Amino acid sequence: MPEKYHIKTKPIPPRRPRIGKYGIVDWREDCARCHNCVKKACIYDRHRMETEYIRNLNDVDVLFFDCMGCLYCVQNCTKNLLSLSINPTYKKLGNEYWTPDIILTTWNQAETAKIPVSGAGYKGKFSGHGFDSMWTDMSEIVRPTRDGIHGREYISTAVDVGRKASFLSFSERKLTNVNPPLIDMPMPIILDMQAEEYSLPDLNPILQETAKRTGIITIVDSSLYSTVQDQEDLSHIAFHIGSDSKMPPKEIMAKTNLVQIPDSSKVLDKIKEIKKSFPDIIVSVKIPLDSKGSKRAIELASNPEIEVLHVAADLNGNEIGTKNPRFVKDIVREIHTALVDNGTRDEITLITSGGIALAEHLAKIIICGTDLVAINLPLLIALECHLCKSCKPGQHCPAKLESFDFEYGVGRMTNLVAAWHDQLIEVMGAMGMREARRLRGDVGRGMFFEQLEEETFGKLFGTRK
């Protein structure tokens, strides 16, 4: 039996005090000082922990907020002096898209590497913007499933990066095809370069080590080639060669399998130039998903020189620079469908970035048609980042990212990747899918809000306003 893909993890506790959702507000002026104060009976022992925390307080900027919100003390206080409140720091985390809930769950996954599990039912909106307007389908067992139902260990998250031959040629019983280079990735994630808006100290060494430990690839700006620690093993590194950047030296290039170049009018010449010297390197073209992005991607995909396209929406998954931006899932569906119609889909690898904030987004965007995703902000959040955008010299970073332990960074990022991997398997198991490759573009494994509304409520209630 081939070796199973497994990411080694271990719990990496946060460096900063935890930022929980709830806190108890205490109006002490009318306190009866009961000897059996309800705080002593806290089921989670949080009041004692708070006292300990305050006693040893090193950072005055972070108060203790780790209440579980059970209301036990609030509802039992003799004088009704306690009240539950939402932690104001929690409320300030992230932004409209990267909500506090997303940030908190990412922190937890980065700490424990575990799938988030909770009780009670779903608490959110019926549906919503972007990924919240679709559901994945599942395999009810009393009907045929896609691939049958498999134990988790038999579900493969592996995907291929590169161009595939559309047919095989034989001559005198021998294969005459020259198969294009192909990278086998154990899971459909690439670690992207850090976003410009979040200009932090160099995270490259951490990203590189994480990619190595998880067996995936990280994209590194080509100007930083000399900073790569392990100059011998570059299989987990893909250099991004900007329009004005020079290619890394030959001996470095020869050790990589994938490079990325930005889209331009001369992109085909650039590919030829790279291929001329390094025929075994796969070249990915990064296309910003602006108003012309999807059209350009479809156009480029029809060119046999193109092997991999990386389509990038903005950090919130929206089309770039348009008045009524479409969401990345809709754009990817359009590109995927067009490639299927053109008969070239299996020859191109599609990487998508922008707005992939949770493991569920990973599964959903694959259903919409991408082969794999490139992520950056979730990795940053794994390091306890608040996404406050104050990462400029001289400004206070609440996550104290100016300096941190290398193992902490790699461990947290690795844990997050492992948690996403497990969640992808979980949701694929529910869908009856055995391979991530087969999930790509299988919209039959997805249900879309607009479609469901039209099919059910449209029939009953007429036209949607």
Partner 1 sequence: MQTRVPQAKVERTIKPAPSRYRNEVAKYIIKRNSDCIRCGKCVELCPYGVHVDKPGYKYFAEPKLHLCVGPECEKTDHYCVAKCPKQALSLMENPMMEVMGDYRWTADMILATWKMAETGDVPPREYGYQYETGNTGGGFDKIRIKFPDKPPVKVKEDEVDTSIELNRRNDGRPKIKIDVPWYGGGMSFGSVSNVTQLSKARACVAWNTFTCTGEGGYMERMRPYDDHVITQVATGLFGIREETIQRVPIVEFKYAQGAKPGLGGHLLGDKNTIAVSKMREAILGISLFSPFPFHSVYSIEDHMKHLDWIKHINRRALLSTKVSTPTDVDMVAIGSCAAGTHIVHLDGGYGGTGAAPDIAKKNIAMPIEYAISKVHEFLEAEGVRDTVTLIASGGIRNASDVAKSIAMGADGVVVGTCELIALGCIRCAKCESGRGCPRGIATTDKELAPQMEIDWGTQRIINLYNAWRKELVQILQKLGMKSVAELRGRTDLLTHDDYSK
Round to whole Å and give the CA distance between 39 and 373: 47
Q: Which of residues 364-423 bind partner 1 (CB under 8 A)?
A: 364, 423
Query: Nearest distance from residue 191's CB to partner 1, in Å?
Result: 21
Give the residue, chosen from 6, 40, 57, 76, that forms a contact with partner 1 under the rule CB under 8 A: 76
Q: Is the dihedral of CA 98, 101, 105, 107 positive or negative?
A: positive
Structure tokens at 76: 């039992």
Round to whole Å and give the CA distance between 261 and 269: 11
Query: Nearest distance from residue 204's CB to partner 1, in Å?
Result: 30
Q: Which of residues 145-174 bind partner 1 (CB under 8 A)?
A: 149
Give the residue, chosen from 57, 68, 165, 254, that forms a contact with partner 1 under the rule CB under 8 A: 68
Round to whole Å and give the CA distance between 131 and 133: 5
**Residue 108 or 245: which CB sits closer to partner 1?**
108
Give the residue, chosen from 8, 33, 174, 459, that forms a contact with partner 1 under the rule CB under 8 A: 459
**Residue 2 or 119: which CB sits closer to partner 1?**
119
DSSP string, 171-227: ETTEE---PPPEEEESSSEEEPPPPTTS--S--HHHHHHHHHHHT-EEEEEGGGGGG
Alpha helices in 219-266 (DSSP H): 250-253
Using CB under 8 A as the binding rule, whether residue 103 contacts partner 1 is answered as: no
Q: Which of residues 118-147 bind partner 1 (CB under 8 A)?
A: 118-128, 132, 135-143
Give the residue, chosen from 429, 434, 439, 440, that forms a contact with partner 1 under the rule CB under 8 A: 429
Give the residue, chosen from 241, 267, 427, 436, that forms a contact with partner 1 under the rule CB under 8 A: 427
Structure tokens at 128: 């919503």
Give the residue, chosen from 51, 80, 199, 227, that forms a contact with partner 1 under the rule CB under 8 A: 80
**Residue 128 or 201: which CB sits closer to partner 1?**
128
Query: Nearest distance from residue 18's CB to partner 1, in Å?
Result: 15
CB 321 within 8 A of CB 291: yes
Stretch that binds partner 1, among 3-11, 73-81, 194-202, 265-273 (CB under 8 A): 73-81
Give the residue, chosen from 6, 40, 75, 342, that forms a contact with partner 1 under the rule CB under 8 A: 75
Using CB under 8 A as the binding rule, whether residue 71 contacts partner 1 is answered as: yes
Using CB under 8 A as the binding rule, whether residue 112 contacts partner 1 is answered as: no
Query: Nearest distance from residue 327's CB to partner 1, in Å?
Result: 16
Give the residue, chosen from 363, 387, 413, 417, that forms a contact with partner 1 under the rule CB under 8 A: 363
Using CB under 8 A as the binding rule, whether residue 70 contacts partner 1 is answered as: yes
Buried b (16+ CB within 10 A) or exposed e, 36-73: ebbbeebeeebbeebeebeeeeeeeeebbbbbeeeebb
* Binding track, positions 19-58, relative to partner 1; x by CB under 8 A: ---x--------------------xx--------------
Q: Is the dihedral of CA 373, 377, 380, 381 positive or negative?
A: negative
Query: Nearest distance from residue 141's CB to partner 1, in Å?
Result: 4
Stretch that binds partner 1, among 10-18, 83-91, 259-267, 289-297 (CB under 8 A): 83-91
Q: Which of residues 177-216 bind partner 1 (CB under 8 A)?
A: none
Structure tokens at 278: 């390094």
Buried b (16+ CB within 10 A) or exposed e, 83-95: eeeebebbeebbe
For 135, phi then psi, to 5°, come to -125, 150
Stretch that binds partner 1, among 75-83, 165-173, 378-386, 410-418 (CB under 8 A): 75-83
Query: Nearest distance from residue 367's CB to partner 1, in Å?
Result: 11
CB 392 within 8 A of CB 402: no
CB 225 within 8 A of CB 239: yes
**Residue 392 or 465: which CB sits closer to partner 1?**
465
Structure tokens at 53: 């925390």
Give the residue, chosen from 6, 79, 246, 400, that forms a contact with partner 1 under the rule CB under 8 A: 79
Round to whole Å and give the CA distance between 286 and 50: 49
Give the distance from CA 446 to its chain's centroid: 19
